[in-house]
Amino acid sequence: MVKLSVIVPFYNVQAYAPDTLRSLRSNTREDFEFILVDDCSTDGTADLLRRALDGVEGAVVHRHERNAGLAAARNTGLDAARGEYIAFLDGDDWLAPGHYARLLAQTEALSCAFVRTDHVQVTGTARTVRRVPHGPRSVVSDPRAAILPAGRTTSVDYAYAWAGLYHRSLLDRGLLHFTDGLRTAEDRPWIWRLHREAESFAVLGTLGHFYRRGVSSSLTQIGDERQLDFIRAYDQVLSDTAADRDADTLMPKAVRTYCAVISHHVGSIGRYEPAVARTLKSLAAQALGRMPRDVLDDVLDSMDTERATVLRKLRRRSATTEGAAAA
């Protein structure tokens, strides 16, 4: 029986994949499987993965015939997974030796649906510990309760899919698949769904996942139209939240988070291609126009002046556009 399935998407990470694969070799166990998904890489990544089949016990490779994005690559891995537990790893990150065995033992001892873990962020030679914004450690908690309060950073803001372990029951219930077609922010509606629908979770302080930040090929570093998928991702968060039984309670958090992300992107608009920057402003204004007016008013009143000013300016743009269209 397979105890753990580890899903690892790769796309044009030839320079970093050797570290990732070496760390998998130091995490092998006879009841672990490693599902390596090549999302139609055009560099030497595919050759590295083929060679990994001889060096990483339990590894299998799936190759996409066209580049489909991280969400689709993870879904390919989920469809192939046989394990009782599921883990994710990105193709440019790496693990401490024996990390998965330790994480699995702790998760089984708690007997909860999923766990979230702290991680080490690596930027060049600098390493920084990033912690799940949820106080209790190694205590089984209600995931829905961890969404709030609206005015603070909470567990749904720590959306990294690879920072955790997930019981197969979540996969069988349809809670682990990602929204196909999202090229960025694919983990946002995903983490919100987990916290709304799963019955239990816990946070572990186990440090063993090293997240490489600032990689030039990462979509977080690219200023083209793919970055704008955060709009579709957060639109999904809003629509799912609106349909929830606790919509009135949860909507302020969803709107506040969406507003914070819009403000972040607009505040960094200089890194976008000019045409994409114009589209960003237009889509962001339209998104604000779709938000519940009373909730948005309260959110803007509670935000700091700098961000609220940016968002109110965009909101006026939306209202002006709507007025012109009506005329």
Closest CA to 24 of 52, 62, 63: 52
Q: Decide if pLDDT at 218 tops 90.
A: no
**pTM confidence score:** 0.93
Helix (H) or strand (E) holding 254: helix 247-267
Q: Please report, rounded to a whole number, the percentage of residues in the chain having pLDDT higher than 90.
A: 90
- Per-residue pLDDT, 217: 53
Question: For the segment 52-92, what is each residue's pLDDT rounded down to a tens digit?
Answer: 999 999 999 999 999 999 999 999 999 999 999 999 999 99
SS3 assignment, position 188: helix
Question: For the segment 121-141, what is each residue's pLDDT rounded down to a tens digit?
Answer: 999 999 999 999 998 999 999
- Indicate the domain borders of the chain: 4-215, 222-326
- Per-residue pLDDT, 325: 46
CA dihedral 125, 17, 90, 232 (to 10 degrees): 100
Q: Decide if pLDDT at 294 tops 70.
A: yes
Closest CA to 41 of 7, 5, 16, 22: 16
Kindly indicate the confidence band of residue 313, based on its pLDDT and cuts at 50, 70 and 90. very high
Kindly indicate the confidence band of residue 327, based on its pLDDT and cuts at 50, 70 and 90. very low
Question: For the segment 227-272, what is each residue's pLDDT rounded down to a tens digit?
Answer: 999 999 999 999 999 999 999 999 999 999 999 999 999 999 998 8
- Per-residue pLDDT, 317: 77
201: Cβ contacts below 8 Å, ≥ 6 apart: 112, 113, 114, 115, 116, 140, 141, 143, 146, 155, 194, 195
Q: CA angle, corner 71, sides to 45 and 127, nearest 5?
A: 65
Average pLDDT over residues 161-175: 98
293: Cβ contacts below 8 Å, ≥ 6 apart: none
Task: Give the number of other Cβ atoms within 10 Å of residue 173's Cβ.
Answer: 12
- Integer Cα distance of 3 and 32 in angstroms: 6
Please state whether beta strands 126-130 and 119-123 pair in parallel, antiparallel, or not at all (unpaired).
antiparallel
For tokens 């440019």, the residue is 92
Helix (H) or strand (E) holding 282: helix 274-290
Question: For the segment 175-190, what is each residue's pLDDT rounded down to a tens digit?
Answer: 999 999 999 999 999 9
Distances (CA, A) of 249 to 23, 204, 256: 42, 27, 13
Q: Decide if pLDDT at 279 tops 80.
A: yes
Cα–chain center distance at 228: 15
- Cβ–Cβ under 8 Å, residues 305 and 313: no
Report the CATH superfamily, name and number, of domain 4-215.
Spore Coat Polysaccharide Biosynthesis Protein SpsA; Chain A (3.90.550.10)
- Integer Cα distance of 45 and 206 in angstroms: 30
- Cβ–Cβ under 8 Å, residues 34 and 62: no
Q: Count of residues for the chain?
A: 327
Q: Decide if pLDDT at 321 tops 60.
A: no
- Per-residue pLDDT, 219: 52
- Integer Cα distance of 190 and 161 in angstroms: 8
